[in-house]
Amino acid sequence: MASNPSSSRPAVGVALVVGSCLSLPFGAAVAAQLFPALGAWGVTSLRIGLAAVLLLVFVRPRVRGWTRRQWGAAVLFGVSLAGMNGFFYAGIERVPLGPAVAIEFLGPLILAAVLTRRLLDGMWVGIALIGMALLGLDGMLGAEPLDLLGVFFILIAAGFWVFYIRMSARVGEAIPGSGGLVVGLLAASVLLLPVGIPTVAAVGASGDMSLLLLALLTAVLSSVIPYSFELAALRRLPQRVFGVLLSLEPAFATLAGWLVLGQSATPLKLLAIGLVVAASVGTALGARRDARGAEPPPFTGTIPVVPN
């Protein structure tokens, strides 16, 4: 049985989320270099497939004896992975990485707002929302306006991100270890197979091993590390805390876009990033104070429903 996400020490959970937020955008920046050769959906398929194979080799999940509930949670987790990653990569093919992550963060931000019950938590969500608005304003007022189709793809990815958080929490509660993650990645690979087969064929026909190496690096940075960290973090943190802590990701995405892709950061964008970082720090400190207080009631395994 997975541990109660509220009763474990939150400092470890916070560190895991920070590690995930640092790894993901650098993986996306590497993936963007593959788009001209393989396309956004092709890169998504290759990355998810490679990540599934890597984890299958190292984890070797014991699925014998799984219940229907466990299988269902793992497969739905895979659906969330396929949709979130595919539409996000289709978006960053058209929109710079920093603003793209900021727009996608609207998903977990809305989830955090829905699950918030305290005034202080609501304040941090509000500060993060202001930061997101400033990033959007910067994207509209900048020298290059944001591509509307790209923004549409990212908004779809934001919806799948909410689904991912929900299903990741359910998998963490229902399935011990990393078996749920492995099966979820395998399910996502099957869903992406129609776009994956031409991509693998293109890599094989080109004979360019650098494409495969970049795809492997993308799989490690964008799938193996962050999803393993987030699954472990959701066993230690409430979903509302996890959702707001993810607001660190636009900051790291801007850094990755600057270092890897040469994308600039304006003063307005830096101010926005400062606000979302402040919201993350405030939420993390609040989680630590909660842990030092009274022991919360036992986790029932019930996942709150987020309205569409």
pTM above 0.75, yes or no: no
Asked if residue 299 belongs to a domain, the reply is no
- Element (H or E) spanning 114, and its range? helix 106-115
CB atoms within 10 A of CB 135: 26
Confidence grade of residue 143 (pLDDT, cut at 50, 70, 90): low
Helix (H, G, I), strand (E, B) or coil at 6: coil
User: What is the phi/psi pair of residue 6, to 5°?
Assistant: -95, -20
Per-residue pLDDT for 263 more than 90?
Answer: no
Asked if residue 76 belongs to a domain, the reply is yes
Residue 178 · residue 59 · CB < 8 Å: yes
Asked if residue 5 belongs to a domain, the reply is no
Cα-only R_g, the chain: 19
Buried b (16+ CB within 10 A) or exposed e, 146-184: bbeebbebbebbbbbbbbbbbbbbbbbbbbeebbbbbbb
Q: Which pairs from 116-122 meet CB under 8 Å and 24+ separation? A: 116/240, 120/282, 120/286, 121/240, 121/244, 121/283, 121/286
Asked if residue 50 belongs to a domain, the reply is yes
Return the pLDDT at 57. Answer: 86
Per-residue pLDDT for 161 more than 80?
Answer: yes
219 compared with 273, residue with greater pLDDT: 219
| Alpha carbon separation from 226 to 43, 147, 230 (Å, rounded) | 17, 27, 6
Per-residue pLDDT for 116 more than 60?
Answer: yes
Neighbouring residues of 214: CB distance < 8 A, sequence distance ≥ 6:
30, 31, 33, 34
Burial class (CB in 10 A: 0-12, 13-18, 19+), 79: middle
Asked if residue 84 belongs to a domain, the reply is yes
pLDDT digits (tens, 9 = 90+) for 24-45: 888 888 888 888 888 888 888 8
Give the count of domains, the chain. 1
Return the pLDDT at 139. Answer: 65
Helix (H, G, I), strand (E, B) or coil at 203: helix
* Enclosing domain of residue 135: 10-292
Residue 291 · residue 10 · CB < 8 Å: yes
For residues 141 and 299, give the distance between their C-alpha atoms in angstroms, rounded to a whole number: 46
Asked if residue 307 belongs to a domain, the reply is no
From 139, 96, 138, 143, select the one nearest 268 (Cα to Cα). Answer: 138
Asked if residue 306 belongs to a domain, the reply is no
From 299, 304, 302, 306, select the one nearest 1 (Cα to Cα). Answer: 299
* Candidate ranges 4-8, 49-53, 76-80, 217-221; pick with highest mean pLDDT: 76-80
Per-residue pLDDT for 254 more than 50?
Answer: yes
Sign of CA dihedral 48, 53, 54, 56: positive
Neighbouring residues of 11: CB distance < 8 A, sequence distance ≥ 6:
288
pLDDT digits (tens, 9 = 90+) for 69-108: 999 999 999 999 999 989 998 998 888 777 787 778 778 7
Asked if residue 308 belongs to a domain, the reply is no
Helix (H, G, I), strand (E, B) or coil at 303: coil
pLDDT digits (tens, 9 = 90+) for 275-307: 877 776 676 666 555 555 543 443 333 333 333
Tokens of 78: 């895979």
For residues 296 and 46, give the distance between their C-alpha atoms in angstroms, rounded to a whole number: 42
